[in-house]
Amino acid sequence: MIDERAYELLCCQLGLANEEKAGLRKQVNELIARLKAIEESNKENSKALVDTINDLKESLEKQSSTVEHYRKEMELMRKQLEAKDEVNMMLANEISNLRLQLEGSRKHRFGRTSEQRRLLNNRNIDKSAMEKSEYDGSGKKGDDDNKTDGNGTGSNTSSGNVPAQNCRPSRKKETAPRATKTRLKVDKVIVHEIEDYYQLPDGARLMKRNGMADVWEYRFIEHVHAHNVEHVY
C-alpha cells in the first residue's frame, strides 16, 4: 500500500513537473518569437535609418554643388562689373579728352588770326593819331596850307603825317604763354611693333623717311585696375 501510494504520488508530481515544463517551454518559445520580431523590427528600422542618412547626404552634396555654382556665378558677375567699370572709366576719360579737344578747336576756329590782330592794332593807331591831330588843330592847319599852297604842298603835308603815325609803337595784344602739355603718368608702357598688328599685301612696301617707316603713330591710355598701361603703335 505504501509503495502504491508513493508511486502514485511520484506519478502525480511527475505529471505536474511535465505540465510546468511544458508551460515554461511555451513561455520560452513565446519569448524567442518576440525576440525575433524585435530583431526584425530593429533591422527594418536600422535600414530605414540608413536610407534616411544616405538621402540626407545626397541632399547635402547637391546643396553644396548648388552653392558652389552660385559662388562661381557671383565671382564671374563681379569680374564683369569690374571690367564694365574700367570701360566706363576709359570712356569717361576719352569723352573728357574729346571735350578738351573740341574746346581747343573752337578757340582756334573763332579766335583772331595774327593778320587780323595786326590790322586791328593799326586801325586803332590811325584813329588815335587822327583824334590827336584834330584836338591839336594840326589837321586844320595842314588843310589851310593845302588850300593856299596847292597840290604840291598838300602832298608834302599829307606825306609828312605818315612817318609820325608809323613812329608810334604798335600795341599788340599780349597772349598768355601756352601751358606745357603734361603726359599722364603711366605704370607700364607697351610698344607694339608695326609687324605685330599690320600686314602688307603681296608686293607692297612701306615708304621710308630718314631710314624709318613713314607711318602714323597714335597712343591711347588703357586704365587697368590698380595701374595704367600705355599702348604705343
Burial class of 146 by CB neighbour count within 10 A (0 to 12, 13 to 18, 19+): middle
Instruction: Look at residue 132 in the predicted model and tell me its pLDDT.
Output: 58
Tell me the HSE value of 163 on the side-chain side, using a 13 A CA sphere. Answer: 4
Instruction: Look at residue 110 in the predicted model and tell me its pLDDT.
Output: 54
Residue 58 DSSP one-character state: H
> Is the alpha carbon torsion for 111, 115, 119, 124 positive or negative?
positive
CA distance 97 to 103: 10
> Is the alpha carbon torsion for 151, 157, 161, 163 positive or negative?
positive
Instruction: Look at residue 129 in the predicted model and tell me its pLDDT.
Output: 55
Counting residues of the chain whose pLDDT is more than 70, the rounded percentage is 55
The three cell numbers of residue 121 are 592794332
Do the Cβ atoms of 157 and 146 come closer than 8 Å? yes
Predicted confidence (pLDDT) per residue in 212-233, tens digit = 766 665 566 777 676 677 777 6
- Give one DSSP letter per residue of 119-161, joined into a string: HHHHHHHHHHHHHHHHHHTHHHHHHHHHHHH-HHHHHHHHHHH
Predicted confidence (pLDDT) per residue in 33-47, tens digit = 999 988 888 888 888
In the predicted model, what is the mean pLDDT of residues 59-67? 90
Query: Residue 228: enclosing H or E segment and its boundaries?
Result: strand 227-232
Instruction: Look at residue 118 in the predicted model and tell me its pLDDT.
Output: 67
Instruction: Look at residue 164 in the predicted model and tell me its pLDDT.
Output: 44
In the predicted model, what is the mean pLDDT of residues 7-33? 86
Predicted confidence (pLDDT) per residue in 127-175, tens digit = 555 565 555 555 444 444 544 444 444 444 444 444 444 455 555 556 6
Do the Cβ atoms of 90 and 223 come closer than 8 Å? yes
Nearest to 192 by CA among 153, 148, 229: 229
Do the Cβ atoms of 204 and 74 come closer than 8 Å? no
Delimit the domains of the chain by residue range.
1-111, 114-170, 183-233
CA distance 39 to 187: 78
Do the Cβ atoms of 230 and 188 come closer than 8 Å? yes
Q: Indicate the range of 23-27, 68-72, 199-203 predicted with least confidence.
A: 199-203
pLDDT exceeds cutoff 50 at 24:
yes
Please give the residue that has the higher pLDDT: either 72 or 108. 72
Three-state secondary structure call for residue 211? coil
The three cell numbers of residue 123 are 586801325
- Provide the pairing of β-strand 188-191 with 227-232: parallel
